[in-house]
Amino acid sequence: MKKQIFLFAALVLFSFISASQINLNRFKNSLTNSESSSSKSDYTKEAYNDASVTSNTSPKFKNEGREWYISKSRGSGQLGTKERPAKDLGNIIHKLNPNDVIYIAAGTYLSKGEMGSDEINVPVKIYGGFDESFSKRDPWGEYKTILTGTNDYMKSTQPRLYISTTKQREENGQYATGSEIIVDGLIIDNGPRNRYHEDKGLAIRRTAHGPSNHNPSPESGGIVIAGSKYTNITVQNCVVMNTAPTQGALSVMVYQGGKGIVFNNLCINNTGNGIQLKTGYVGSDDALIPTFYVQNNTSLFNWKHDPIASYGGNALKTDQNLKVTLEKNVFGFGHMGGVYSQSTPMVMNNNLFTGNLKYDFKERNTMMNVDEILDESVHLSQYSEGNESALIQLNIAERWANLYAERQILSREEVDASVSASNSGANQLRSMLGLNLQGNSVSTNAEIFLHKLELDEGLPVGFMTWNGKGCAKPVFK
């Protein structure tokens, strides 16, 4: 058994008990009735009242939908029934209709043709983590539903799960709107999809290598969702790890009149931003601005896009034209920082920040530590409270932690400063001709960068909370 690091005195286990299919409306009501100081804000209780999108759902998205069942071990064909499940989600995507509900049993899924990516263009609800009879559920334990792929040449480099309803049109040509998207209980692990230098698992490479039949590491997120207007989106009880996007590892874009809930997810060891909240609305009607509630998520070890990049490396990033409430999350070990707000109207209550290199909170170009946020932020609600910075202990494998501690942190300034002109024959000729001299080549690749985190090494981090902050292993009865 791998050695694990325990640096914290007490572990507080936190369980979420739910039916096998979580009712979003009941969950919203539980947020509304929570005993939280966020009730003082302008966009917490009001934003998450049980406001139905039914009246705004256009005809194409009013379909009642059917149930689909997926099983890696006993699936065959495309009937997708509980008795005769399909073998992979990718095999039945072309059959999906709006409001279909998909149940996925435990197993490792590579998509249709082992392409490593699934794209869905209608609103659906996806629930993973079931046993083979679809009667028991343990998505982070006995019945893990793992979506991954391979690094074989010419496989897909698109997001592992991409759901977008923004281009669906009605028969009259108008865009279809409304309905609901739910992703619940999936584990996205891009480790097998990445290309690592010399196959050692220590540093990713973003270019393909044809002679060795290797793809580039996918420059895309693990779960990427974009809903159409008046569409509510929920992502909960999911794990996203080893992805190498420019933007969000877990990315949700909500359009006008829609709401987003991001609850109890673990985002660990990704480039870009662990969680990214985006808007598809450019208007000024306050009632139509998308709203997000983000609670009990853990976003750790977020790397810059590349070793000398000046972007990425945040636990969470938000667009400007949103209203956001952050509660009881853990944002830590960002190569840049914790929360990067692009002047987003925001409430933050009882979040934990730890180990971020440059800032805990950034608003446009202003970088702040936790104790400076209320004094210096322009757009954060003054009713925000309970945010803290603290050292925490992580239940993570010693092998990976030791490598992380040995990583080299590069900056573009340091690389540029290390360039000097050589006294080569070519430079002697260039000097005689009055041309600029050529500098020595300087490697911009770190020997350790987004090194591979095995699932059994990283998943235990998500089993704990710190004084009720962060995600925990979901429990279903």
Strands 366-368 and 359-363: antiparallel
What are the tokens at 338?
A: 């914790």
CB 206 within 8 A of CB 216: yes
- CB neighbours (10 Å) of residue 52? 12
- Tens-binned pLDDT, residue by residue, of the chain (477 aa): 444 443 333 333 333 333 333 333 443 443 333 333 333 344 444 445 445 566 799 999 999 999 999 999 999 999 999 999 999 999 999 999 999 999 999 999 999 999 999 999 999 999 999 999 999 999 999 999 999 999 999 999 999 999 999 999 999 999 999 999 999 999 999 999 999 999 999 999 999 988 889 999 999 999 999 999 999 999 999 999 999 999 999 999 999 999 999 999 999 999 999 999 999 999 999 999 999 999 999 999 999 999 988 899 999 999 999 999 999 999 999 999 999 999 999 999 999 999 999 999 999 899 999 999 999 999 999 999 999 999 999 999 999 999 999 988 765 555 444 444 445 555 554 554 455 555 554 455 789 999 999 999 999 999 999 999 999 999 998
- CB neighbours (10 Å) of residue 325? 25
Asked if residue 265 belongs to a domain, the reply is yes
pLDDT at 442: 44
What are the tokens at 354?
A: 């730890």
Asked if residue 416 belongs to a domain, the reply is no
CB 142 within 8 A of CB 104: no
Q: Which residues of 94-128 are buried (b: 16+ CB within 10 A; e: fewer)?
A: eebebbbebbbbbbebbbbeebbbbbbebbbbbbb
Distances (CA, A) of 200 to 97, 276, 449: 42, 30, 12
Asked if residue 441 belongs to a domain, the reply is no
pLDDT at 450: 97
Residue 94 neighbours by CB under 8 Å, 6+ apart: none
pLDDT at 427: 53
Does the pTM of the predicted model rise above 0.75? yes
Domain that holds residue 156: 16-394+461-476
Half-sphere exposure of 5 (CA within 13 A, CB side): 15
Asked if residue 437 belongs to a domain, the reply is no
What are the tokens at 177?
A: 């709107």
Radius of gyration of the chain (CA): 23
Asked if residue 399 belongs to a domain, the reply is no
pLDDT at 426: 54
Asked if residue 447 belongs to a domain, the reply is no
User: Which residue pairs, CB below 8 angstroms and at least 24 apart, start in 206-210?
Assistant: 206/244, 206/306, 208/153, 210/153
CB 372 within 8 A of CB 380: no
Q: How many domains does the chain have?
A: 1
Helices and strands: H and E segment counts in the chain: 6, 31
Asked if residue 227 belongs to a domain, the reply is yes
Asked if residue 421 belongs to a domain, the reply is no
- Distance of alpha carbon 93 from alpha carbon 453, whole angstroms: 30
Q: Residue 197's domain is classified under what CATH number?
A: 2.160.20
pLDDT at 219: 97
pLDDT at 425: 54
- Distance of alpha carbon 270 from alpha carbon 312, whole angstroms: 10
